[in-house]
Structure 1
């Protein structure tokens, strides 16, 4: 056994590496969700000051969503915890906001249900194809995320008049992108599984051919 001191630059164990900035931002986003919900629903949503505070907390949470993944990739700090917690935090924030807005009769329930079904469905698809590969976010998916966040933020704000009409159109665009990108994700998930299945069958066939060839060579020896 060597008595040499441990190298401080050596990679720490996995349990330590979970404690990093990207994961801290994800946990912070989860912690903001109940605070945001209370601010949004205070006095049945009639307290304008609380609505402004709710908008601020929602905006800060969206910013952490933008940067935690980027920081994790740039620093090489991607962890299994982050892969699991990040989408959960995203859905918790979006779901809480939409359900709260529908409870206040600001957003129709069918809109909320359509968006949540898509988001939960895509999350389940990710787990369904995870052993076959990762489906990269499309431009449409990224646009959906931005427009959806903008629409929700506009509805959280206590707007009236023309601005209230503008947010309706922004939500309509967000809903359209949500549905279209959801269907695209289903198509790509199915295509990935088919491609992966063909690749695995081809690999099995090559292994079988190789073992058969080896057996024949041994027999001829």
Structure 2
């Protein structure tokens, strides 16, 4: 039994959001500790060698645990809930893992490293105004990736198959940050829009809708469940 759980996270870090969604989905209660990992004295540096959130500290069956990173936290959440975050079918599980890996590497490298750097990291680090060329390239990359996801959302009940999985939570974590900054072109991808509306209505998603980035209001549809 898990108890006394504390999640150290940054609200606009996709991996942190995925952890919050997974813990919320399996109803594992936790206290939130918001961290600012770019600051040298951030407490996150004492918790993980990477210096990056999320980190979950908890006691499980009387044993203290420190779970570092998205994979460890989502895996723990899934294990404690008897596998509800991965499909029962082996092929669907493989597809869920493929999609999680997709967001962790190519999507993160092609899209987040550009758009979130320009829209989020630059203001936080005071690196100046967003670069128009970089924004254009990041938006083009986002459309390419969403174009690959659109058929999946249109043909399947959930991204990896017949039931919600880690793939949906990780995808929603990434896309919700972009949605906050008004960078998600939902009108061009109706299948993904329908999928996002569905996951956005789940109880685990509600805390994310209250997140606010300093100096930047959310997009007009960010907190709208029926947009």
Give the shorter-chain TM-score range.
0.3 to 0.5
Highest Rg: 1 or 2? Answer: 1
Structure 2 length normalisation: TM-score?
A: 0.32
Structure with bigger strand share is 2
